[in-house]
Structure 1
Amino acid sequence: MQSLNPIMKTDYPDPDVIRVGNAYYMVSTTMYFFPGCAILRSYDLVNWEIVNYVFDKLEDSSAENLEREESIYGHGMWAPTLRFHNGIYYIAFSSVDIKKTYFFTTDDIEKGKWEKHYMDGFFHDLSLLFDDDGRVYVTYGNGDIWITELEPDLSAIKEGGLSKIIINDTDDVYLRYEGSHIYKIDGYYYIFLIHWPKSAGMRTQVVYRASDLNGEFERRDLVIDDIGNPGRGVAQGGIVDTPDGKWVAYLFQDCGAVGRVPVIVPLTFKDGFPYVSDDLKIPSEKNIKKFLEKQNLAKDHKYDKLYTSDDFKYDVTMTSHPDLKMQWQWNHLPCDSGWKIKHEGGLEIKNTKIATNLVHARNMLTQRMMMPKCSATVTIDVSGIKDGDVAGICAMQGCYGLVGVRNQSFQKELVVMVRKKEEVDRFDKRIDYMPGNVVFSRIINTDVVKLKICADFTGGKDTAYFYYDAGDGMIDTGVSHKLHFGLDHFTGCRFGLFNFATKQPGGKAVFNDFEYEAED
Structure 2
Amino acid sequence: MINNPILRSDFPDPDVIRVGDTYYMVSTTMHFMPGAAILRSFDLIHWEIYTYVYDTLDDTPAQKMEDGKSIYGQGMWAASLRHYNGAFYVCFAAYDTQKTYLYQARDIQGPWKKQEIEGFYHDCSLLFDDDGRVYIVYGNTEIYLTELNRELTAPKPGGLHRLIARDREGVKLGYEGAHIYKINHRYYLFLIHWLSDGSGRRVEACLRADSLEGEFIGKDILDDDMGYFNMGVAQGGIVDTPDGEWYAVLFQDHGAVGRVPVLVPMRWEDDFPALGIRGKVPAAIETKSTRPTHKYEPFVSSDDFQYFPDGDGKIHLKTAWQWNHAPNNALWSVDGTQGLLQICSGKLSENVTRAANTLTQRTIWPACAASVEVDGNLLNDGDYAGICAFQGRYGLIALTKEDGAYYIVMKGRPGEADYTIGRTCDQTPGEEYARIPWPSAMATLKVHADFADMRDEAAFYYLEHAEWKQLGITQPLYFGLDHFVGCRFGVFLYSTQKVGGRACFKRFIYHETGVQSRSNGNPHNFHEEAELYV
- After TM superposition, is the score higher than 0.5? yes
- Deviates most, 313-322 or 296-305: 313-322
Rounded to whole Å, the distance in 2 between the matches of 1:457 and 1:362 is: 27
1:425 to partner: Cα distance:
6.0
Q: Give the match for residue 31 of structure 1.
A: 30
Q: Give the match for residue 351 of structure 1.
A: 345
Q: Give the match for residue 193 of structure 2.
A: 195
Contact 2:372/2:445, CA 8 A, preserved across alignment: yes
Q: How does 1:155-166 map to 2 (within 5 A)?
A: 155-166=153-164
Which structure 1 segments of 5+ residues have no match? Answer: none
Rounded to whole Å, the distance in 1 between the matches of 2:361 and 2:34 is: 12
Rounded to whole Å, the distance in 1 between the matches of 2:211 and 2:196 is: 31
- Cα separation, partners in 2 of 1:274 and 1:427, compared to 1, 3 Å: closer
- Cα separation, partners in 2 of 1:361 and 1:184, compared to 1, 3 Å: same
Give the secondary structure class of the aligned counterpart of 1:337. helix
Contact 2:224/2:232, CA 8 A, preserved across alignment: yes
Contact 1:369/1:495, CA 8 A, preserved across alignment: yes
1:427 to partner: Cα distance:
6.7
1:429 to partner: Cα distance:
5.3
- Cα separation, partners in 2 of 1:197 and 1:279, compared to 1, 3 Å: farther
Q: How does 1:269-348 map to 2 (within 5 A)?
A: 269-276=268-275, 280-283=279-282, 285=284, 288-289=285-286, 292=287, 295-316=288-309, 321-342=314-335, 343-348=337-342
1:505 to partner: Cα distance:
0.6
Give the letter aligned to residue 470 of structure 2.
D
Give the letter aligned to residue 129 of structure 1.
L
- Cα separation, partners in 2 of 1:215 and 1:36, compared to 1, 3 Å: same
Contact 1:54/1:114, CA 8 A, preserved across alignment: yes
Q: Give the match for residue 137 of structure 2.
A: 139
1:352 to partner: Cα distance:
0.4
Contact 1:423/1:431, CA 8 A, preserved across alignment: no
1:430 to partner: Cα distance:
7.6
Rounded to whole Å, the distance in 2 between the matches of 1:307 and 1:20 is: 25
Which structure 2 segments of 5+ residues have no match? Answer: 516-534
The one of 488, 497, 510 equivalent to 1:494 is 488
The one of 351, 374, 387 equivalent to 1:393 is 387
1:316 to partner: Cα distance:
4.0
Contact 1:444/1:470, CA 8 A, preserved across alignment: no
1:412 to partner: Cα distance:
1.3
Q: TM-score scaled to structure 2, two decimals?
A: 0.93
Give the letter aligned to residue 109 of structure 1.
I
Give the secondary structure class of the aligned counterpart of 2:220. strand
Rounded to whole Å, the distance in 2 between the matches of 1:175 and 1:16 is: 20
Instruction: Give the superposed CA RMSD.
Output: 1.7
- Residue by residue, what CA displacement relative to the aligned partner does 1:459-508 show, whole Å, maximum 9, x if unpaired? 11111111002556321225211110001000000000000001111000
- Residue by residue, what CA displacement relative to the aligned partner does 1:91-114 show, whole Å, maximum 9, x if unpaired? 00011110111000111103x210
- Cα separation, partners in 2 of 1:89 and 1:399, compared to 1, 3 Å: same
Rounded to whole Å, the distance in 1 between the matches of 2:159 and 2:118 is: 18
- Deviates most, 334-343 or 208-217: 334-343
Give the secondary structure class of the aligned counterpart of 1:34. coil
Contact 2:417/2:479, CA 8 A, preserved across alignment: no
- Residue by residue, what CA displacement relative to the aligned partner does 1:438-475 show, whole Å, maximum 9, x if unpaired? 01110111011000011111111111111002556321
Rounded to whole Å, the distance in 2 between the matches of 1:81 and 1:231 is: 27
Give the secondary structure class of the aligned counterpart of 1:32. coil
Q: Give the match for residue 244 of structure 1.
A: 243
Rounded to whole Å, the distance in 2 between the matches of 1:119 and 1:150 is: 9
1:86 to partner: Cα distance:
0.4
Give the secondary structure class of the aligned counterpart of 1:475. strand
1:408 to partner: Cα distance:
2.1
- Cα separation, partners in 2 of 1:318 and 1:415, compared to 1, 3 Å: farther
Contact 1:316/1:341, CA 8 A, preserved across alignment: no
Give the letter aligned to residue 127 of structure 1.
S
1:462 aligns with 2:456: yes
Q: How does 1:4-403 map to 2 (within 5 A)?
A: 4-110=3-109, 112-199=110-197, 200-276=199-275, 280-283=279-282, 285=284, 288-289=285-286, 292=287, 295-316=288-309, 321-342=314-335, 343-403=337-397
Give the secondary structure class of the aligned counterpart of 2:256. helix
Rounded to whole Å, the distance in 2 between the matches of 1:79 and 1:152 is: 23
Contact 1:398/1:489, CA 8 A, preserved across alignment: yes
Contact 1:392/1:405, CA 8 A, preserved across alignment: yes
Q: How does 1:398-417 map to 2 (within 5 A)?
A: 398-417=392-411
1:517 aligns with 2:511: yes
Contact 1:321/1:340, CA 8 A, preserved across alignment: no
Give the letter aligned to residue 135 of structure 1.
R
1:231 to partner: Cα distance:
1.8
1:337 to partner: Cα distance:
1.5
Contact 2:34/2:55, CA 8 A, preserved across alignment: yes
Q: Give the match for residue 420 of structure 2.
A: 426
Rounded to whole Å, the distance in 1 between the matches of 2:480 and 2:417 is: 11
Rounded to whole Å, the distance in 2 between the matches of 1:509 and 1:277 is: 50
Contact 1:251/1:265, CA 8 A, preserved across alignment: yes
The share of aligned pairs that are identical, in percent, is 47
Rounded to whole Å, the distance in 2 between the matches of 1:198 and 1:352 is: 48
Give the letter aligned to residue 97 of structure 1.
D
Give the secondary structure class of the aligned counterpart of 1:33. coil
Contact 1:358/1:436, CA 8 A, preserved across alignment: no
Give the secondary structure class of the aligned counterpart of 1:141. strand
Rounded to whole Å, the distance in 1 between the matches of 2:423 and 2:237 is: 34
- Residue by residue, what CA displacement relative to the aligned partner does 1:276-306 show, whole Å, maximum 9, x if unpaired? 2585322453xx33xx1xx211110001111
Q: Give the match for residue 506 of structure 1.
A: 500
- Cα separation, partners in 2 of 1:246 and 1:77, compared to 1, 3 Å: same
Rounded to whole Å, the distance in 1 between the matches of 2:419 and 2:128 is: 41
Rounded to whole Å, the distance in 2 between the matches of 1:3 and 1:225 is: 19
Contact 1:320/1:340, CA 8 A, preserved across alignment: no
Contact 1:34/1:330, CA 8 A, preserved across alignment: yes
